[in-house]
Amino acid sequence: MGGSAMGMAMRMGVEIVAALGIGFFMGWALDEWLGTRPWFMLVGLVFGAGAGMLNVYRIASGYSYHAGYSVDEETGGDKDDDGEDQEDQKDDERDQDDGVDGASRPRNQE
């Protein structure tokens, strides 16, 4: 709480702990299921640590709230007014054919 630097620090802390916890828990659950006691747990911890650091890196480098990898950073840069927006929702749903990074939104072409 308090200033934004403090808030940032707290966010990063939560981010690391949460990722570690999830990694640990997933590994532990796999171990319980497969009966391979320590191994998946350890691997999960390592992956969790990696994910936590990745999240912190993303926060620190201004990727802000994006958890996934993001190609273009401007989320809705231009504020076009309400009028002409209903129709480009349709072609948004149909763009599965093109490549992975083709998922960038087509709404900026006006």
Partner 1 sequence: VAAGHNPLSQFEVKAWIPIRLGDLDVSFTNSAAFMVLAVSLASLFLIAGVRRNALVPGRWQSMVELIYMFVANLVRDTIGPEGRPYFPLVLTIFMFVLFGNLLGMIPYGFTFTSHIIVTFFMAIMIFLGVTVLAIIKHRMHFFTFFMPPGVPMIMAPLLVPIEIISYLTRPISLSVRLAANMMAGHTLLKVFAGFVVLLGLAGVVPLVFVVLLTGLEIAIAGLQAFVFTILTCMYINDALHLH
Q: Which residues bind partner 1 (CB under 8 A)?
A: 1-2, 10-11, 14-15, 18-19, 21-23, 26, 47-48, 50-52, 54-55, 64-71, 75-76, 79-80, 82, 85-86, 88-89, 92-93, 96, 99-101, 103-105, 107
Q: At its nearest, how many Å lie between partner 1 and the CB of residue 1? A: 5
Report in angstroms how near the CB of residue 24 gets to partner 1 at its nearest: 10
HEC profile of the chain: CCCHHHHHHHHHHHHHHHHHHHHHHHHHHHHHHHCCHHHHHHHHHHHHHHHHHHHHHHHHCCCCCCCCCCCCCCCCCCCCCHHHHCHHHHHHHCCCCCCHHHHCCHHHCC
